[in-house]
Structure 1
Amino acid sequence: MWRSTLSLVLSAFLLQLPQVTALKGDSQCGYLVCVNATVHHDTVTYQMTARQDRMGWLALGFGRHMAGTDMVVMWRNEDDSLTISHRHGYDHTEPQVVEDPPRTAFLPMLQPTVWSSKLNPANTLTFSIPLDESQWVFKPEKNGTFENLIWAYGMTRPATSDPHTSIYGHYAAGMLLLNLEKELSGTPPDDPTINDDDTTSTAPSHQDTQTAFEDPYTTHELIVLCHGVIASIGMLVLLPAGALVARWTRTYSDKWFKIHKFLNYSIGLPVILVGWALGPFAVFDARASHFMDAHQISGVFVLIVYLVQLSLGRYIHARKGLPNRATHAPSNILHVVLGLVVIGAAFLQVRSGMNEWEHHTGEKVSHWCHILWKVWIIALPVLYLLGLSLLKRQFYQESHGLNPSSAPKHYVALSPDEGHRSMLFNADADLDSPDYGFPDNSRLTKEAETAVPLLRRN
Structure 2
Amino acid sequence: MNTKNFWFLMTLGVYQVSSSPISFCPDNSDVCFQWAVPEAGNENIYFQIDAPTSYQWIGLGIGKQMAGAAMFLVYEDGQGNVTVSNRNGKGHSMPLFGDQDSISLLDGSGVKDGRMVANVLYKNSGKLDLSGSSDWIMAKKQGASLASVDPDESITVHDSHSAFSINLAQASVALDSNPFSENNNNENGVSGGDATGVTEANSNPNNNLILAHGVILTVVFVAVYPLGSLLMPWLGKWYIHAAWQMVGFLAMWAGFGIGYVVSSDLDIFFDQTHTRLGVVVVALLGMQPILGLLHHMQYRRQGRRGAFGHVHIWYGRALIIMGMVNGGLGLQLTGASDVYIIVYSVVAGVSALLYAGYSTFKAIKTEKKK
Q: Do these two structures clear the TM 0.5 threshold for a shared fold by scoring above it?
A: yes
Structure 1 residues 150, 56: CA separation in 2 closer, same or farther (over 3 Å shift)?
closer
Match of 1:58 in 2: 70
One-letter code aligned to 1:285: D
Q: Distance in 1 between matches of 2:258 and 2:295?
A: 31
Give the one of 330, 341, 344 matched to 2:307: 330
Q: CA deviation at 1:389?
A: 4.5
Q: Distance in 2 between matches of 1:245 and 1:187?
A: 66
Q: CA deviation at 1:244?
A: 0.9
Match of 1:222 in 2: 208
Match of 1:270 in 2: 250
Match of 1:233 in 2: 219
Match of 1:243 in 2: 229
Match of 1:376 in 2: 351
Aligned length: 269
Contact 1:45 1:129 in 2 (8 A): no
Structure 1 residues 334, 75: CA separation in 2 closer, same or farther (over 3 Å shift)?
closer
Q: Distance in 2 between matches of 1:317 and 1:378?
A: 27
Find out whether 1:311 has 2:290 as its counterpart: yes
Partner SS, residue 82 of structure 1:
helix
Structure 1 residues 347, 110: CA separation in 2 closer, same or farther (over 3 Å shift)?
same
One-letter code aligned to 1:127: K
Q: CA deviation at 1:328?
A: 2.5
Structure 1 residues 349, 37: CA separation in 2 closer, same or farther (over 3 Å shift)?
same
Match of 1:357 in 2: 334
Find out whether 1:38 has 2:40 as its counterpart: no
Bigger radius of gyration among the two: 1
Q: CA deviation at 1:332?
A: 1.4
Structure 1 residues 314, 373: CA separation in 2 closer, same or farther (over 3 Å shift)?
same
Match of 1:257 in 2: 238
Taking structure 2 as the reference length, what is the TM-score of the superposition?
Answer: 0.55
Q: CA deviation at 1:231?
A: 0.6
Percent identical pairs in the alignment equals 17
Match of 1:23 in 2: 20
Contact 2:298 2:308 in 1 (8 A): no
Match of 2:60 in 1: 49
Match of 2:362 in 1: 387
Q: Distance in 2 between matches of 1:376 and 1:282?
A: 28
Partner SS, residue 165 of structure 2:
strand
The structure with the largest strand share of the pair is 2
One-letter code aligned to 2:20: L
How does 1:23-422 map onto structure 2 within 5 Å? 23-25=20-22, 38-39=35-36, 42=39, 45=45, 49-50=60-61, 58=70, 81-83=100-102, 110=106, 126-127=122-123, 135=132, 147-149=133-135, 177-179=165-167, 181=170, 200=200, 218-250=204-236, 256-265=237-246, 267-286=247-266, 288-318=267-297, 321-322=300-301, 325=302, 327-358=304-335, 364-365=339-340, 368-391=343-366
Q: For 1:33-56, what per-residue CA distance to the aligned partner results, in whole angstroms no more than 9, with x for missing partners?
A: x996623563672658359xx998
Q: Distance in 2 between matches of 1:340 and 1:315?
A: 17
Structure 1 residues 119, 220: CA separation in 2 closer, same or farther (over 3 Å shift)?
farther
One-letter code aligned to 2:60: T
RMSD in angstroms over aligned alpha carbons?
A: 5.1
Q: Distance in 2 between matches of 1:118 and 1:362?
A: 26
Contact 2:213 2:256 in 1 (8 A): yes
Taking structure 1 as the reference length, what is the TM-score of the superposition?
Answer: 0.46
Partner SS, residue 300 of structure 2:
coil
Q: Distance in 1 between matches of 2:98 and 2:212?
A: 41
The structure with the largest helix share of the pair is 2
One-letter code aligned to 2:295: I
Q: Distance in 1 between matches of 2:356 and 2:116?
A: 44
Q: Distance in 1 between matches of 2:192 and 2:304?
A: 81
